[in-house]
């Protein structure tokens, strides 16, 4: 959708079809920080002299896997002891100056007046550190030769990272992996992530996560996935978590899965629960009853 709206119109009015904050097909990048041109020897000296810390390197390694994160997410993971947002923001600015991080500012034709959280990704010096210090193969994740992508693709990572943070804070998270390849006979599917939790009795519980955003084919994709997951979850004795942005979309997804007789072992969670500060993730997973009403699990 972002490719279809004329950029020359400067009207402050918003489109009629309002979109959720992190499921907005009208979103578009407003500004992406330019790549820095520091030599790696300069960055290496900053590391040796302590200007770039071990925590800074951990942030880079995190973003190599998790791709995009907001300031709030970085703060909660790497600066949990810091109460003042300004302190974290100043540190992030320093990392941007060194080229370890890069900021993407964005807006939307849907809700122009709403504040949008900037997304942070690996910068040029961050890529050099990963390549020369840790031997990582960056491929299309190298900011100097990135793969063309959309805001919805970035939003899928940001929402999944929020899910990951809350999951790790509230459960005994044993493993979390993006885009595993699942195989059943001659069929394959690649979910958003797979993860495992350890329950109080020490048993490992296996889950798969599929995060859908509002691209044009998400319902068609879900219907195509349904029969695979119906059989696969039974074989693996696992649960599939379907993460969508709104209750309305969860109801539609439930109807599709029900039509395909693939609703067993599937739980739902939406952005509405995930970003509700009054609701714990331990009480945010749900299914639907026959009246299309949510029935929440209590996993405390």
Per-residue pLDDT tens, the chain, 300 aa: give them. Answer: 566 777 766 656 665 567 899 999 989 999 999 999 999 999 999 999 999 999 999 999 999 999 999 999 999 999 998 877 788 999 999 999 999 999 999 999 887 777 899 999 999 999 999 999 999 999 999 999 998 899 999 999 999 999 999 999 999 999 999 999 999 999 999 999 999 999 888 999 999 999 999 887 899 999 999 999 999 999 999 999 999 999 999 999 999 999 999 999 999 999 999 999 999 999 999 999 988 899 999 998
Considering the domain architecture, whether residues 226 and 286 belong to the same structural domain is answered as: yes
- Evaluate whether residue 6 is within a structural domain: no
Considering the domain architecture, whether residues 47 and 136 belong to the same structural domain is answered as: yes
Distance (Å, whole) CA 250 – CA 92: 36
H or E element, residue 273? helix 271-274
Considering the domain architecture, whether residues 146 and 183 belong to the same structural domain is answered as: no
- Evaluate whether residue 194 is within a structural domain: yes
Residue 252: give the domain boundaries: 171-296
Considering the domain architecture, whether residues 189 and 130 belong to the same structural domain is answered as: no
The pTM assigned to this predicted structure is 0.94
Domain termination residue (choose one: 95, 122, 152):
152
Decide: 107 and 27 in contact? Cβ < 8 Å.
yes
Cα-based angle 70, 87, 117 (whole degrees, multiple of 5) = 20
Q: What are phi and psi of 256, to 5 degrees?
A: -65, -45
Total domain count for the chain? 2
Cα-based angle 171, 175, 181 (whole degrees, multiple of 5) = 130
- State the CATH number of the domain containing residue 36: 1.10.10.10
Decide: 120 and 71 in contact? Cβ < 8 Å.
yes
Domain termination residue (choose one: 89, 120, 152):
152
Considering the domain architecture, whether residues 128 and 62 belong to the same structural domain is answered as: yes
């Amino acid at each position: 959708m972002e490719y279809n709206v004329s950029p020359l119109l400067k009207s402050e009015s918003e489109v009629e079809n309002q979109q959720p904050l992190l499921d907005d097909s009208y979103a578009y990048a407003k500004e992406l920080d330019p790549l820095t041109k520091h030599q790696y020897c300069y960055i290496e000296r900053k590391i040796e002299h302590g200007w770039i810390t071990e925590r800074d390197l951990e942030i880079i390694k995190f973003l190599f896997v998790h791709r995009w994160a907001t300031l709030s997410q970085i703060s909660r993971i790497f600066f949990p002891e810091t109460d003042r947002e300004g302190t974290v923001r100043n540190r992030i600015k320093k990392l941007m100056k060194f080229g370890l991080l890069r900021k993407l500012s964005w807006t939307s034709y849907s809700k122009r007046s709403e504040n949008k959280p900037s997304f942070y990704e690996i910068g040029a010096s961050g890529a050099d550190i990963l390549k020369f210090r840790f031997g990582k193969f960056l491929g299309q994740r190298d900011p100097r030769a990135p793969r063309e992508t959309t805001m919805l693709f970035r939003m899928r990572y940001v929402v999944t990272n929020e899910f990951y943070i809350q999951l790790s804070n509230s459960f005994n998270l044993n493993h979390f992996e993006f885009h595993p390849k699942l195989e059943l006979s001659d069929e394959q599917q690649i979910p958003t992530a797979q993860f495992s939790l350890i329950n109080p009795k020490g048993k490992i519980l296996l889950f798969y996560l599929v995060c859908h955003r509002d691209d044009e084919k998400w319902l068609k994709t879900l219907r195509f996935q349904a029969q695979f997951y119906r059989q696969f979850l039974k074989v693996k004795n696992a649960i599939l978590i379907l993460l969508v942005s709104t209750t309305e979309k969860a109801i539609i997804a439930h109807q599709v899965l029900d039509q395909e007789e693939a609703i067993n072992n599937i739980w739902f969670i939406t952005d509405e629960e995930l970003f509700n500060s009054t609701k714990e993730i331990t009480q945010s997973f749900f299914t639907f009853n026959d009246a299309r009403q949510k029935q929440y699990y209590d996993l405390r």
